[in-house]
């Protein structure tokens, strides 16, 4: 979908993700083949977005699925990116629970926070462009929600 990207910011993010995930793939292959610590250890992904979330809903045109390739736009591409990152984070979690080689298991487990960080970066991009709007509760509703939970009193039965 790369050729459909219009926004240079989204393209830069995609290139950063591709570079990071390609190295991660090579680290996994190295570990799988040797069963030992990889030549290139698991890296840490640092997003370039700030953490500012826009709250509140703005009216938008009704959405419908793209009917042809010409309708694929930055909103579509960022949604595809989010989908693959979510499914990868889930797959890496499941895989890390079942991988018998301890080094490979650690590579998968250590990679999950990076996938989360990349997905959150995509979320922030979508939110900034109003592709992913976040409703904001009225202050009283928020207070009621916060007050509806409390700690467990005493100890849990054995």
Q: What angle do CA 92, 96, 98 make, to 5 degrees?
A: 125
Contact 129, 75 (CB under 8 A): yes
Contact 34, 27 (CB under 8 A): no
pLDDT tens digits along 39-97: 999 999 999 878 899 999 988 888 888 899 999 999 999 999 999 999 999 999 999 99
pLDDT at 149: 92
Residue 56 pairs in a beta bridge with 134
Per the document, the length of the chain is: 158
What pTM, to 2 d.p., does this model score? 0.88
Higher pLDDT, 111 or 50: 111
């Amino acid at each position: 979908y790369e050729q459909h990207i219009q926004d240079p910011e989204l393209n830069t993010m995609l290139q950063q993700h591709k570079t990071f995930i390609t190295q991660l793939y090579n680290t996994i292959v190295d570990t799988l083949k040797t069963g030992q610590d990889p030549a290139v250890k698991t890296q840490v992904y640092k997003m370039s977005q700030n953490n500012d979330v826009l709250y509140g809903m703005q009216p938008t045109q009704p959405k419908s699925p793209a009917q042809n390739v010409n309708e694929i736009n930055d909103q579509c591409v960022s949604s595809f990116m989010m989908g693959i990152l979510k499914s990868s984070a889930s797959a890496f979690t499941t895989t890390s629970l079942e991988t018998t080689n301890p080094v490979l298991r650690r590579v998968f487990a250590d990679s999950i926070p990076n996938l989360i960080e990349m997905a959150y970066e995509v979320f922030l991009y979508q939110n900034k462009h109003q592709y992913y709007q976040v409703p904001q509760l009225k202050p009283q509703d928020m207070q009621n929600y916060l007050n509806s939970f409390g700690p467990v009193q005493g100890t849990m039965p054995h």
